[in-house]
Amino acid sequence: MNDIRILVTEDDSSVSNLIATTLKINQYSCIRASTGTQAIALASSMNPDLILLDLGLPDMDGIDVIRTVRTWSAAVIIIISARSDDSDKITALDAGADDYLTKPFSVDELMARIRAAQRRMNYLAESKEEKAVFTNGSLTVNYAANLVYADGQEVHLTNIEYKLLCLLTKNAGKVLTHSWIISRIWGNEMESDISSLRVYMTSLRKKLRTADGEELIRTHIGIGYQMIRKEG
């Protein structure tokens, strides 16, 4: 049995049954909700490690569920939604979601995303033991405390955004290709795509931008991204 508890929030019974069956086959503990109200109550009482969340719920928008749960929970939230526009993805990520899977989806990709989330959980747990602090211009990353500051102000990042930032800071000055970043974040190039990476990078850039508009992440079109090393 896997040692994480997953909350599935989906009002379509056929999709909910498919996800629940897949999780049980893969030996995950699963609890289910069909409305936003139920999801919020179960997230509070059962303290799941990971939440699979549909945005189109009958009683409220999934974005509101994210914002409510994020007031007390650091659980990984993976959106499973038919909404495929970048604007919808960015809204969900800004609200506090960690990943976004578009319907229709394959159960293999779903399980890959869940395994990737587990790796990120383990990574963050291990990084708490690190003592190094990265400083670059207005940016400070305290790896031991998992804290990020831009221009002296704390920046709140999702798990994926933090993982991306760690990749960039620990390879500052190097150009990291799209495929290399994707393989490190999701474990396999085929488990995501460049358009999804762009969404996360857009959100990360927005959160790191300082009052004077300082940009630390450079885009190399068609290649990848680079953390610019500031002098001093």
Tens digits of per-residue pLDDT, 154-193? 999 999 999 999 999 988 888 888 888 888 887 665 545 7
In the predicted model, what is the mean pLDDT of residues 198-219?
85
For the chain, give every residue range classified as CATH 3.40.50.2300: 5-125
Query: What percentage of the chain has pLDDT greater than the value 70?
Result: 91
In the predicted model, what is the mean pLDDT of residues 185-202?
77
Distance CA 193, CA 214 (A): 27
47 vs 17, higher pLDDT: 17
Q: What CATH number labels 128-227?
A: 1.10.10.10
For residue 10, the tally of other CB atoms under 10 A from its CB is 22
Name the nearest CA neighbour of 9 among 72, 25, 157, 46. 46
- What's the CATH class of domain 5-125? alpha beta
In the predicted model, what is the mean pLDDT of residues 113-130?
72
Gyration radius from the chain CA atoms: 18
Contact present, 80 and 53 (Cβ < 8 Å): yes
DSSP 8-state code for residue 115: H
In the predicted model, what is the mean pLDDT of residues 125-141?
75
Residue 205 sits at the vertex; the CA angle it makes with 200 and 209, to the nearest 5 degrees, is: 155
Say if residue 148's pLDDT is above 70: yes
6 vs 4, higher pLDDT: 6
Say if residue 231's pLDDT is above 70: no
pTM over 0.85: no
In the predicted model, what is the mean pLDDT of residues 55-71?
95
In the predicted model, what is the mean pLDDT of residues 135-153?
89
Say if residue 34's pLDDT is above 60: yes
In the predicted model, what is the mean pLDDT of residues 205-213?
79
For the chain, give every residue range classified as CATH 1.10.10.10: 128-227
In the predicted model, what is the mean pLDDT of residues 36-59?
94
Q: How far is CA 49 from CA 8, 44, 46, in A?
A: 11, 11, 9
The tokens for 61 are 């928008």
